[in-house]
Structure 1
Amino acid sequence: MTRLPLIDNSHTPLVLIGGTLCTARLWGPLIERLNVSAVICLTLASADSAQESSRQLLPVLPPRFLLAGFSLGAIVALQMAADAPERLAGLTLTSVNPLADRPENAVPRRAAVQAAREQGHGEWLSGSLWNHYVAPTNRHNRALHDTLCLMAEETDSETFSRQTEIAISRRDNRAALRGLRCPVLILNGEHDPICTPEHHRLAAECAPKTTWVTLNLAGHFCVLESPDNAAAPLRQWIMESLICE
């Protein structure tokens, strides 16, 4: 891997928000390839809604920052864009469903938390979600499988429960995208049955300054499945956002 020149974003840190059952491990390969000077990795662990998460995070973050969210983290990032658009130098939504959750999803979502508690998070993820999380070509990638299971195992049941409540209670915040004046990147995997290409189209069509990139041979966890291909548009988005500052 060729290391690209350092991007000095010390005055505008890159804030990364992970998704359900994710830790900072999610971002490791990507951070190495982006080679930026200031990164803040956040795990959603202490709030039961995107609105509460936004209220907790905004006061402790720098006045201006680049914001990128993955999956559930993208839902919270979109809420932060609705609450404080003037704080964002740029916004990236990766593997996002920008719509409100369907009411009928609440019962199976909460049942999944209980099943994971009983089985162990890693074993439950392997049996229930692994085949939905990655592209078919990556289903035999043992290292990737073990990384996702390890992140799940590192996430306690209370955190998983709170993350689930964020998903259940999420709002449709697409209107926030229409008001943004900063560069917006929409990033997704081609083979994602959870947050589909259609979900990303719905997000991309709402933002006036949007770049939409779909990664081939990647699924929901595109940032781990294809870090080289994910890093290229993210690095371009960072440089564009800093130029616009």
Structure 2
Amino acid sequence: MLSLSIILAVLCVPSVFSDECQFTQDCNVKCEGLQDASCACRFGSCITVGHYWFGVTRTRDCEEFTDCDCSETPETCFCREGKCISDPEDKWECHNSTDCSVLEKCSDKDCTCRGNLCEFECTTVEDCIKGDFHCSRSIGSECGCEEHLCTHVDRPKQCEEISDCVELGKCTGDAPCSCDESQCVDPWYVNQSWREDYPTKNCKNAKDCNYSIANCQNDKCTCENLEKVNKYESWGECTPI
């Protein structure tokens, strides 16, 4: 079994990909499908940055780089994941947004220091939407642009359960509906390609009826007329008992 010190060493040292970038969003394609780590652009290179594994007991040596013994040399001193880093080969871009002004990529932009990286994501909310940032794909929130970073802005709450959506007129009691992230939306299966040919299919079992049909909640329906909609799945129709 790996010792904690070895685990921490592996997690704190990023591995470098190839190709150049300016900001982290430029690395999206290269880092697509990455698991158990995050992706970032550091000094023009896309890198993967590991994180502490869930359940690993650890102690924090710092909250800020000023807590570290190396703080007198801030250009090579950083607090990452609660650990002090002073390796000149593991430098990061900034401690605060003022540090970003010396980087060429920020020479004509007001970059913001986030996670020891100088980032610039937006001037307007539209930039966040066009750039396909996570906020643009969220159900419960919409995009905001603060300090040139894309942020999540909570949408007004619509529901706690699908009966609330029926009361609001967002859907009807006998049609598919979902309360997801406090918003009234179509259930996930409505947008499946097979449903174009099987528009009345809305369940694989009675649990699906409870999930997405308001009039079927509390076990008032069964799932009948199962039919194979593709090679792997059979779907039926929620039918009142």
TM-score (norm 1): 0.21
Highest relative contact order (Cα 8 Å, sep 6+), 1 or 2? Answer: 1
Structure with greater Cα Rg = 2
Give the TM-score taking structure 2 as reference length: 0.21
Which protein is richer in strand relative to its size? 2
Between Structure 1 and Structure 2, the one with more helix by share is 1
